[in-house]
């Protein structure tokens, strides 16, 4: 019983250390981007995400709307790559892939899932 508890505590500590390492990597990537360039990236990204949210909340969805959603995420991903923000690129790619799967009919339209 004591051994199982010790292993559980070690796993919790390992997860915590990995989370901290990930956060430090993200901070390191952000520090390497000049403030003005990051602000431009942030502003452009927020505008594209607002547009996507608005489209996702609309009742009318067709291939053109899905193309816009995909294109906006692709643009954000490209900008994140430009600034070597790999933590952003990885997450954005997941959303972009969901739009692509929806566009190619590999999965159903699910606005709730896409809004996350």
Which residues lie closer than 8 Å to 44 by C-beta, 6 or more apart? Answer: 75, 76, 79
With CA atoms as reference, report the closest residue to 33 among 80, 77, 75.
80
CB 69 within 8 A of CB 52: yes
In tens, the pLDDT along 32-43 reads 889 999 999 999
With CA atoms as reference, report the closest residue to 113 among 97, 75, 104.
97
Domain definitions of the chain by residue range: 1-31, 33-115
Q: What is the distance, to the nearest Å, from the Cα of residue 102 to the centroid of all Cα atoms in its chain?
A: 17
Residue 5 has pLDDT above 80, yes or no: no
- The CATH class, in words, for 33-115 is mainly alpha
The reported pLDDT for the residue numbered 89 is 92
In tens, the pLDDT along 78-97 reads 999 999 998 889 889 988 88
């Amino acid at each position: 019983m004591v051994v199982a508890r010790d292993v559980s505590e070690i796993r919790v500590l390992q997860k915590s250390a990995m989370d901290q390492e990930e956060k430090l990597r993200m901070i390191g990537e952000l520090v390497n981007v000049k403030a003005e360039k990051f602000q431009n990236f942030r502003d452009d990204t927020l505008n594209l995400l607002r547009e996507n949210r608005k489209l996702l909340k609309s009742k009318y969805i067709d291939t053109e709307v899905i193309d816009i959603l995909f294109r906006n995420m692709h643009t954000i991903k490209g900008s994140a790559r430009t600034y070597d923000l790999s933590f952003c690129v990885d997450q954005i790619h997941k959303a972009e892939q969901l739009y692509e799967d929806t566009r190619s009919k590999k999965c159903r339209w699910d606005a709730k899932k896409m809004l996350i």
